[in-house]
Structure 1
Amino acid sequence: MFIRKTPAIQNGPNSIASLEAMTIGGVEQWVLIRGQDRRKPILLWVHGGPGAAQIGFISQYTSEYEKDFLVVNWDQRGAGLSYSKKITEESMTLERMLNDLIELVRILCARFQQDKVYILGHSWGTVLSYLAIKRYPELFHGYISVSQIVNWKQNEHVSYKRILKKAKEVGNEKAYRQLIKIGPPSWNKANFESIYNYWLQKFGGGVIHKGSFMKLFLSPLFIRSEYHFLDIIKWLRGQLFSKSLLKDEAEAIDLYQSGLSIQVPIAFCAGRHDYTCPGELAEVFFHKLQAPVKKWIWFEQSAHTPMIEEAESFQRFVLDTVKQWHKNFN
């Protein structure tokens, strides 16, 4: 009950299945590394949030990737297994977490004797990932973006308008009345954000469009062995800790200020029903970007998490994209 581990990979003489703590940025941070062949290219997943760590459930959706990649998941500083009371509030900054990411990439490259990694960022993780490829393109084969955040405040305002419009369209007077009362973001009252999030999920534009959040996210936390019971409490605390301390920096995010030219291949995707990070904002950004190769795809049955909501289609998207990049650049 209180032992955390990741299952071994069967019939893989050169496989790796490791759940381990590393010292990154001077603090203990946890990393999950899984692959049928440790010589395969590294695919580093960078989770959303801030604080939405995913080591506890993500392996349920990434086992097929382990055939073609060395799949690495990292619970970021202050999140999930990497949440600790020893982490100072002062160290919870975007810049520090970006430095953590680069340090992790260099550790992985040195350990597995590779020069570069593929990086896959989701939501908040797209900000870290984009800034990483901008500053250190030599470390990355390519970047896969899922639910890209470009301008945080613009995201919130478009999201709010979408939900308000949806409430009016379906004739939900209660939703419309409550949303008008709280007004557009940002909110300084926790219950206002709770009201917004309730209707965001209710109208199918939140974390998932259809299906059960419990089945897709929470049940695996209890079923899988990467987190034990007390780690789930840590997972919840880490989300509150990270979100509160990174709130001001998150709201100031505007990737247009970072420039519109990158040196690595990119592939962006968005859920058609995503109200959390409306895809049309990322699509405008995508079309303005200059990159060696770029690709855009909509996932028609998804909201914010197409890698889980349409897991099989998303896997094909990743594999096809990487094969195309490999063909073009090797």
Structure 2
Amino acid sequence: MFTRRTPIIENAPNQIASLEKQLIGGVEQWLLIRGHDRNNPILLWIHGGPGGAQIGFGRQYSSDLEKDFVVVNWDQRGAGLSYAKTISKNSMTIDRMVDDLIEIVQGLCRRFHQQKIYLLGHSWGTILALFAVKRHPELFHGYFAISQVVNMRENERISYEFALRSAKDTSNTKAFSQLSELGPPPWNKLSHDHVHNKWLQKFGGGIFHDGNVMNLLIKPLMRGSEYRFFDIIKWTRGQLFSMNALQKELLELDLLNEVEEIKVPIAFCCGRYDYTAPSELAEGLYKAIQAPDKRWVWFENSAHSPIIEEQDLFVQSIRNTVSEWQSY
């Protein structure tokens, strides 16, 4: 019978390759911990969504980072392997999940005898990550904000206008008709989001700019050994559960009003074609936020997922930035 596992890292005597369940915030949650040398700095990767868990495919995009870091992937409360019917919808709040994140970081520091770690947030995960570094800067060397989310209402407005404009400019009558019928946000059904996201991906501003979701996400998910077949079903259910539970709070959030300063270095990494989390909003936060060091990195051939779309360039950018942050 196929069991969950993560392969060992060959020719690395001090390697770590562990897929494990931990009790975090009173809920069983899963971590994937991988690195060529367990003494390397820790990089905790906070996935998007809400509910976009990535233990099932993350290893296939982080193998080069594992040479320099102990890379930790976390399936968040209510997502992926950490989804369970017993999880209370009332416990699915931003505040509670930031507490989960901090608990994980403290546990990693104790376990690996390190005082600080690096934090990488993607999309929805950038919200949790930014609040974490604001609350406990002493735990972090620095923060990588990948496709930083700022204000979801403005996010959806800009995204919808882009999709509608693209439909008109390309004379795509089907897209224009469906998007016009949908109307501008806010939308009150996930099916409405589906219509918008379908055309957003078609016009190159979605999860991936040139690639398709099947080849870059679904196939790696099915090829991986960290999820069993029924875990893929759980992964899908966790996305629906997490989005439904967190959508209202997410739509009310504006990080420009929440975070004016952080006391750790921050790097904003954005895809030039990203209209899932439009970069113009992230640029506003970048200009406003105070930090010991802040930098902006464009990924010219990416939309929402430069970590996948321009993997080699992304890894090199992380390495270069960490090297320059050594003085902090």
Q: Distance in 1 between matches of 2:241 and 2:215?
A: 25
Name structure 2 gaps, 5 residues minimum: none
Aligned twin of 2:188: 188
Per mean C-alpha deviation after superposition, the further-off stretch among 114-123 and 180-189 is: 180-189
Aligned to 2:251: 251
- Code of the aligned partner of 2:208: I
Counting aligned pairs with the same residue, the percent is 58
Q: Deviations over 1:221-272 (max 9, x none)?
A: 1211011111101100100010001110111111112231110000001111
What is aligned with 1:303? 303
Residue 270 (structure 1) aligns with: 270
Is residue 107 of structure 1 aligned with residue 111 of structure 2? no
**1:98/1:131 contact within 8 Å kept:** yes
Give per-residue Cα distances to partners, 1:299-330, cap 9 Å, x unaligned. 1111110000000000011111111101x32x
Instruction: Give the deviation of 1:25 after TM superposition.
Output: 0.2
Q: One-letter code of the match for 2:53? A: A
Question: Separation in 2 of the partners of 1:17 and 1:266?
Answer: 28
**One-letter amino acid of the structure 2 residue matched with residue 160 of structure 1:** Y
1:93 aligns to what? 93
Question: For the residues of structure 2 that align with 1:197 and 1:212, how far apart are their CA atoms?
Answer: 13
Q: Which residue of 1 aligns with 2:119?
A: 119
The answer for the alignment partner of 1:133 in structure 2 is: 133
* Cα distance between partner residues in 2 of 1:50 and 1:190: 13
Secondary structure at the counterpart of residue 267 of structure 1: strand
Once the two structures are overlaid, the 10-residue window that deviates more, 232-241 or 164-173, is 164-173
- CA–CA separation in structure 1 for the residues paired with 2:92 and 2:284: 30
Q: Given that residues 163 and 200 in structure 1 are in contact (C-alpha distance below 8 angstroms), is that contact kept between their aligned partners in structure 2?
A: yes
* SS in structure 2 at match of 1:11: coil
Deviation at 1:120, TM superposition (A): 0.2
Q: CA RMSD in A?
A: 1.0
C-alpha deviation, 1:168, in angstroms? 1.4
Corresponding letter in the other structure for 2:191: N
1:60 corresponds to 2:75: no
Given that 1:15 and 1:37 are in contact with CA atoms closer than 8 Å, whether structure 2 keeps it comes out as yes
The answer to whether the 8 Å contact 1:28/1:82 transfers is: yes
Distance 2:243 2:189 in 1: 15
Q: Which residue matches 1:321? A: 321
Amino acid at match of 2:45: W
What amino acid is aligned across from residue 7 of structure 1 in structure 2?
P
How far, CA to CA, are the matches of 1:187 and 1:229 in structure 2? 32
TM-superposed deviation, 1:18: 0.2
Matched-pair contact (CA < 8 Å) for 1:35–1:66: yes
Inter-partner Cα distance in structure 2 for 1:190 and 1:92: 18
Q: Structure 2 vs 1, CA of residues 2 and 290 (structure 1 numbering), >3 Å: closer, same or farther?
A: same
CA contact 1:123–1:147 (8 Å) conserved in 2: yes
Letter of the aligned partner of 1:244 in structure 2? Answer: N
- What displacement does 1:96 show? 0.7
| Other structure's SS at 2:141 match | strand
- 2:313, 2:11 → 1: CA distance? 26
Give aligned pairs, total: 328
Q: Shift of residue 140 of structure 1?
A: 0.5
C-alpha distance in 1, partners of 2:202/2:66? Answer: 34
CA distance in structure 2 between the partners assigned to 1:112 and 1:148 by the alignment: 29
Q: Deviations over 1:130-185 (max 9, x none)?
A: 00011110010000000000111110111111111111111222212221221111
User: Any residues of structure 2 matched to 1:274-285 within 5 Å, and which?
Assistant: 274-285=274-285
Counterpart-to-counterpart distance in 2, 1:215 and 1:202: 15
Q: Deviations over 1:78-119 (max 9, x none)?
A: 000000112111111111101000000000000000001100
Residues 2 and 230 of structure 1 are in contact (CA less than 8 Å); yes or no, is this contact kept in structure 2? Answer: no
CA change 1:187–1:114 in 2 (3 A) is same
Aligned position for 1:217: 217
Unpaired segments ≥5 residues, structure 1: none
**SS at structure 2 position matched to 1:61:** helix
CA distance in 2, matches of 1:38, 1:24: 22
Give the match for residue 24 of structure 1. 24
Deviation at 1:2, TM superposition (A): 3.0
CA distance in 2, matches of 1:193, 1:286: 27
Distance 1:191 1:286 in 2: 32
Rounded Cα–Cα distance in structure 1 between residues aligned with 2:103 and 2:51? 19
- Equivalent in the alignment of 2:147: 147
Contact 1:265 1:294 in 2 (8 A): yes
TM-score for the superposition, normalised by structure 1: 0.97
Equivalent-residue separation in structure 2 for 1:293 and 1:168 (angstroms): 41
